[in-house]
Structure 1
Amino acid sequence: MGRKVTLATCSLNQWALDFEGNLQRILESIEIAKAHGAKYRLGPELEICGYGCADHFYESDTLLHSFQVLRKLLESPITQDIICDVGMPIMHHNVRYNCRVLFLNRKILLIRPKMLMANYGLYREIRWFSHWNQSRRVEEYFLPRMIQEVTGQDTVPFGDCVLSTKDTCIGTEMCAELWNPRSPHIQMGLDGVEIFTNASASHHELRKADQRVNLIKSATTKSGGIYLYANQRGCDGDRVYYDGCAMVAINGDIVAQGAQFSLSDVEVITATLDLEDVRSYRGEVCQPNMESEPKPCHRVKVDFSLSSGDDIYLPTHQPITWNFHTPEEEISLGPACWLWDYLRRSGQAGFLLPLSGGVDSSSTACIVYSMCVLICQAIQDGKSQVLEDVRRVVGEDTYCPQSPEELCGHMFTTCYMASENSSQDTCSRARELANQIGSTHMNINIDMAVKGILGIFSVVTGSWPKFRAYGGSPRENLALQNVQARVRMVLAYLFAQLGLWARGKPGGLLVLGSANVDESLTGYFTKYDCSSADINPIGGISKTDLKSFLLFCVEHFHLPALRGILAAPPTAELEPLTDGQVSQTDEADMGMTYSELSVIGRLRKISKCGPFSMFCKLIHTWKDVLSPTEVAQKVKHFFRMYSMNRHKMTTVTPSYHAESYSPDDNRFDLRPFLYNTRWTWQFRCIDKQIPVLRVPLLVTAAGGEDAASEVEPSKTEGTVSRLAANTLNQKVLQ
């Protein structure tokens, strides 16, 4: 009897509601799987309609069109002689479920609804679906007439069941079920299920891939078995990038690995494995527990074998070492792939970026350049779909890029928007970087526009505001900074809409934003300034990670201009220069460093800390550099800024989600935007702890002697307070 099975899993770049495109990609993946000898093909979660349909799941059209696609799949000769496992929404007894549909040779074998929903972080599955909470319960599902006409079946099994072929048993998990403490694979493995499948729509976050890999290795280490993982890839139509990583594991070892970041719409991973390896592993490790499993799985039998009788000479896949990307590589690849999907599906002709010569806008520019590098590499590798998309974007039917720099010149426009407060250094840094990446670069002076707007104000009011450096009030100083910032936004959109027209080319450009996640936390940007854009590839990335990314780009992309950008202090350049030099820096304005903000941001979101609990944690974390009084000042200052500027997150540019402490309030960070900014009760709780913490601390020396040390109030406490007051009266307000 045959023991070796060839199985296929895949990563597909599906798109919400793109039923035509989704169908073609599913068929292509099945065709590739069959060509590699696979008898079972697994696809991503909700692959027929796309995972990100959101409130479109409420619409009957979404259910109807999903069944229409399923009918096309059942009828296609491509799907014959292979078990196909596809994902779609299904309504059963007037309840909507997220389901897997397994079919073979125009017959539906079973429908397995999701049992454990993802309802945290970015996910709101319970909003649209119910979970199947009847363990081991199977009912009859009455098929729609359009499916009955193809299959000849009236009903099919629906519920918590597994598929029993002539040679093995296959059980299904779906995405979040793997991450749950009561993962279905545990009981299935104890009941003799040998092959586990997981159809997923799992998004990319920095430093997350190892969690996914370790969970799958652990699942098969504990109880043995083969594990197939399929995942969505690309931009499904929202802020997240689904990062593929299709894989196959057996008995705790990864034996096949798909790409995490790729421009390919379809990637199929196959592996040939020996079922006897599972049985031998379980015979030693799991047998006592398997004998006592009290609740057997409901088995749906099918007269089909995954193996053949003449496979003795068929080689099996051996364990491999997973190649993880560094965070810098992830920043280079993830947002770049996301930008490409957005660009080619938006119908626009490229990107426009206000390039200031600072770390943030330079990071965005480098991500676009990385996108061009990936595109050129994909074309060299023979990816015809990528070349077709490039030609459509640039509007030239015979165009073929010769280098990333040349492609950048076609698809990427950068502009330095100078004012009387801009320094020559930042202008030079922006121009030098643009030259090295090949973007079409412009220098635009905004002084005329700023003075025109102020002139209108002066005619109406009879007043002309002045900067603080020239004797103006804080309110005048703030307004003058903001008008510059907002003029830049207006000009960015003007040049994005008409820039190509002025050069005799068709199409418009998407405006890119470049505000990082830490600035969003504090609201350190002007509402409706050039941080307002169509999309923002770095809005979920910290300043600390962006600096590391630019260091990576210096070497990886050979961009020496970035060294000067990294060496310069971050500045908005909205206040007058002092002797031709920048006098305004971001960290001085914010009253804290970017590294401090990263720590605070993680405590606020990931650790769920309010002001008091954050203070209690930071007095230990920062005890070597800050006194309790200083920590209290930092915490209070942050929460004042955060709460006063939370309203800005209601209009923030859609950003690539890359950090688990992102403050994006669209779906990830559900908090109010109108606060009592005094936080009286919370701050009073902090203040009560300060006298206690000033009591002399006994420190035990290494030699066994006791030494007393007094924690003194910081000499910089007054400076922090002044910075706090100054910042709250400056551009963080608006």
Structure 2
Amino acid sequence: MSHLITLATCNLNQWALDFEGNRDRILESIYIAKEKGARLRVGPELEITGYGCLDHFLENDVCLHSWEMYAQIIKNPKTHGLLLDIGMPVLHKNVRYNCRLLSLDGKILFIRPKMWLANDGNYREMRFFTPWMKPGFVEDFVLPPEIQKVTDQKVVSFGDAVINTLDTCIGAETCEELFTPQSPHIAMSLDGVEIITNSSGSHHELRKLNKRLDLILNATSRCGGIYLYANQRGCDGDRLYYDGCALIAVNGKVVAQGSQFSLKDVEVVTATVDLEEVRNYRANFMSRGLQASLSETKFKRIDVAVELAPMKARFDPLIVPSKSRPIFYHTPEEEIALGPACWLWDYIRRCNGTGYFLPLSGGIDSCATAMIVHSMCRLVVKEASEGNEQVILDARKLTRGGEGWIPNDPQELASKFFHTCFMGTENSSKETRDRSRELATQIGSYHVDFNMDSVVSSVVSLFEVATGKKPVYKIFGGSQIENLALQNIQARLRMVFAYLFAQLLPWLRGIKNSGGLLVLGSANVDECLRGYLTKYDCSSADINPIGGISKTDLKKFIAYASTEYNMPILDSFLNATPTAELEPITEDYVQSDEIDMGMTYEELSVFGYLRKVEKCGPYSMFLKLLHEWTPRLTPAQVSEKVKRFFFFYAINRHKQTVLTPSYHAEQYSPDDNRFDLRPFLINPRFTWASKKIDQVVAQCEGKTTDLDIMSID
């Protein structure tokens, strides 16, 4: 016996506070779901407002406009005929909740508030919302008067309930609730809920998707049931990129999976599933049956007198259940190529930008940034070739292309909006200049190449005239502070030139009715963590697509791109020694990033992970690394590296307060803006922790020391 039902979930590219645009994308997803024969459609978390409104959620206007958009959706007859699960904020008894609204044929069935809020890492939901702390409890919600006129209802149920149709039972959980130890779906499944929806606003991090999918598959494998996961996609106006990957799982197997990265604003994922498979799976799982019979959690049923799976569909030989399929994962290199590229596309098209400007230094970081823009161009061309009308319209708007123009070549597209520049000095090598020029040629950017020695010399001469003293580089006998000042003035002047050229290049090229270009930064996450950058140099930009990506991952991405995009020039970037080229090159000296920093990029990644993700201070980090890095390094060497890292991290922490907004891709990002909330005035010596580290080193070396932790003498 079969009991077949078609279900729909979706990825939507919503935008914070874009109420009408968000409404239209929701409507489009509903229309597509109906065309595919779906009887239930679930969308992303807070899809009417966009997930990333942040403190705008504290404005009551946001709740008001949400109701106005919701009314326009459910009163539209084209949305009738399937059960809708839509997300928006709701004010109930003067308390703001993150809610799911379930409706059918223009009637609201009930409102389900989120019970467990995401409140760590990038998330601060408890700043905006209150969790529903009454499991299994339901109370009346009086609808706003304007909604009462639309639905002809005054009161609906509000709380922790489920929907009971004539042929199945449906429950909803929201994003973070899946990640909690005692997820709502556990109690729901034990109480007979067969279909569980999860509406999410989950952002992309490298190598994160497998965790999300493991939780879903484990949930349905242990509990049985059908699980519909919906997610937002796109930048939503902030540092995060929500990476989609909507899917449908049945009894621990995936039967439908959407894309993780795409320029499609609306993607609907459907599957035809058999409710009898769920019933058979659960009924033959004896220990589950015992737990279900003993479970004290009984959900209030909201009865709906409809069948989601019509009788004729149960026996129609033309309706076939969706087969299970393997999960598709992108490699980290592909994630870097696709995630930041989609984020950049959303950013430029939604800010009505004229284009991007990138200081192209000839090093691997700016190379990686350029290649992400190239990847973006390839994605645009691909979507245009497949007839994506929104992408075509956005591309015409960005490039001032005429009606009928369709982007069909990544290099041609780049030539219209992407601008690069090599800002050389006497310290720049011919190799870096040549690499920059060749890369610009291959990706199609409009490239400028100039020397700025005269400006640097003028600034230094001005200081000499004003003070009577002339700073010189260290290799010529100068002090460390002179050496650093001479490097920093070059770096800061590059930032000034970047914005000058970004404003004037469109004018130079005769691009009419255009503003300035958006300046791209290219400081990687490890350099930001260590503070190995000049404050207000060309790391200061409008946005930075690689600011959350490690040097190690960037190298792997460039190696991948060299083959994938058939660009052998990229190999020369990989083989070059990372250098800032801010000091003179002599026969005996070439500046090196890793020598300057006193640690390798691989070591920085380890330090960053332990500090942020595993919450290690200097002492606990030293103890962990003592076990991992010996005998390759002596205890004294491990001690020196840990102390050096924390010293430079502390004295440079202030730089993170003005860090360019970066694409978030790594768990150990030092971004001071909401993600890494640490003070920027810290004693860099960490004196007590250092004493305890020294004690352990002494013990390892066979020396006897005694650190009296109780004494204040």
TM-score range, shorter chain: over 0.9
Specify the SS of the correspondent of 1:122.
Answer: coil
Encode CA deviations 1:291-317: one digit per residue, 9 max, x unaligned: 222221111011121111112221000
Q: Equivalents in 2 of 1:552, 1:295: separation in Å? A: 51
Q: How does 1:531-680 map to 2 (within 5 A)?
A: 531-579=539-587, 583-680=590-687
Shift of residue 429, structure 1, vs aligned partner:
1.0
Q: How does 1:95-134 map to 2 (within 5 A)?
A: 95-134=95-134
Q: Equivalents in 2 of 1:402, 1:197: separation in Å? A: 39
Encode CA deviations 1:11-55: one digit per residue, 9 max, x unaligned: 000000000100000000000000000111000000000110100
Encode CA deviations 1:616-662: one digit per residue, 9 max, x unaligned: 01011111321000000000000000000000000000000000011
Specify the SS of the correspondent of 2:233.
Answer: strand
Encode CA deviations 1:479-502: one digit per residue, 9 max, x unaligned: 110000000000001111110101
1:388 and 2:393 equivalent?
Answer: yes
Shift of residue 289, structure 1, vs aligned partner:
2.0
Paired residue type of 2:296: P
- The residue aligned with 1:223 is 223
Q: Equivalents in 1 of 2:507, 2:592: separation in Å? A: 37
- The residue aligned with 2:334 is 329
Quick check: 1:2–1:309 contact (8 Å CA) kept in 2?
no
Paired residue type of 1:529: D
Q: Decide which moves more: 450-459 or 205-214.
A: 450-459
Paired residue type of 2:23: L
Paired residue type of 1:499: L
Q: Equivalents in 2 of 1:13, 1:177: separation in Å? A: 22
Encode CA deviations 1:223-256: one digit per residue, 9 max, x unaligned: 1100000000010111010000000000000000
1:309 and 2:316 equivalent?
Answer: no
Quick check: 1:80–1:106 contact (8 Å CA) kept in 2?
yes
TM-score by length of 2: 0.96
Q: Equivalents in 2 of 1:533, 1:77: separation in Å? A: 48
Q: Equivalents in 2 of 1:632, 1:71: separation in Å? A: 63
TM-score by length of 1: 0.94
Encode CA deviations 1:530-560: one digit per residue, 9 max, x unaligned: 0000000000000000000000000001111
Specify the SS of the correspondent of 1:310.
Answer: helix
- The residue aligned with 1:77 is 77
Quick check: 1:649–1:665 contact (8 Å CA) kept in 2?
yes
Paired residue type of 1:454: V
Encode CA deviations 1:422-466: one digit per residue, 9 max, x unaligned: 010111111111111111111021112212222332332222221
- The residue aligned with 2:439 is 433
Encode CA deviations 1:384-430: one digit per residue, 9 max, x unaligned: 10000000001123332231111111121111110011010111111
Shift of residue 2, structure 1, vs aligned partner:
7.3
Percent sequence identity is 57
Quick check: 1:2–1:307 contact (8 Å CA) kept in 2?
no
Q: Equivalents in 1 of 2:542, 2:217: separation in Å? A: 40
Quick check: 2:75–2:151 contact (8 Å CA) kept in 1?
no
- Count of residues in Structure 1 that have an aligned counterpart in Structure 2: 695
Q: How does 1:55-454 map to 2 (within 5 A)?
A: 55-285=55-285, 286-311=288-313, 312=315, 313=317, 314-398=319-403, 399-454=405-460
Quick check: 2:384–2:408 contact (8 Å CA) kept in 1?
no
Quick check: 1:537–1:655 contact (8 Å CA) kept in 2?
yes
Paired residue type of 1:510: L
Quick check: 2:2–2:274 contact (8 Å CA) kept in 1?
no
**Aligned with 1:688 (options 676, 682, 695):** 695
Encode CA deviations 1:562-604: one digit per residue, 9 max, x unaligned: 111111110000001114x861000000001000111111111
Quick check: 1:2–1:310 contact (8 Å CA) kept in 2?
no
1:457 and 2:463 equivalent?
Answer: yes
Paired residue type of 2:204: H
Runs of 5+ consecutive residues of structure 2 not aligned to the other structure: 704-713
- The residue aligned with 2:706 is none
Q: Equivalents in 2 of 1:603, 1:540: separation in Å? A: 16
Q: Equivalents in 2 of 1:20, 1:497: separation in Å? A: 32
1:515 and 2:520 equivalent?
Answer: no
Specify the SS of the correspondent of 2:5.
Answer: strand
Specify the SS of the correspondent of 1:389.
Answer: helix
Quick check: 2:647–2:684 contact (8 Å CA) kept in 1?
yes
CA RMSD of aligned residues (A): 1.1
- The residue aligned with 1:712 is none
Q: Equivalents in 1 of 2:42, 2:12: separation in Å? A: 11
Q: Equivalents in 2 of 1:176, 1:204: separation in Å? A: 15
Runs of 5+ consecutive residues of structure 1 not aligned to the other structure: 697-734
Q: Equivalents in 2 of 1:534, 1:178: separation in Å? A: 35
Paired residue type of 1:143: L
1:470 and 2:472 equivalent?
Answer: no
Quick check: 2:2–2:276 contact (8 Å CA) kept in 1?
no
Q: Equivalents in 2 of 1:219, 1:477: separation in Å? A: 59
Encode CA deviations 1:84-115: one digit per residue, 9 max, x unaligned: 11000001111100000011111100000000
Encode CA deviations 1:346-399: one digit per residue, 9 max, x unaligned: 111111100111110000001000000000000011101000000000112333
Paired residue type of 2:229: Y
Q: Equivalents in 2 of 1:624, 1:632: separation in Å? A: 13
- The residue aligned with 2:710 is none
Detail structure 1 runs of 4+ shifted over 3 Å in the superposition. none
Specify the SS of the correspondent of 1:259.
Answer: coil
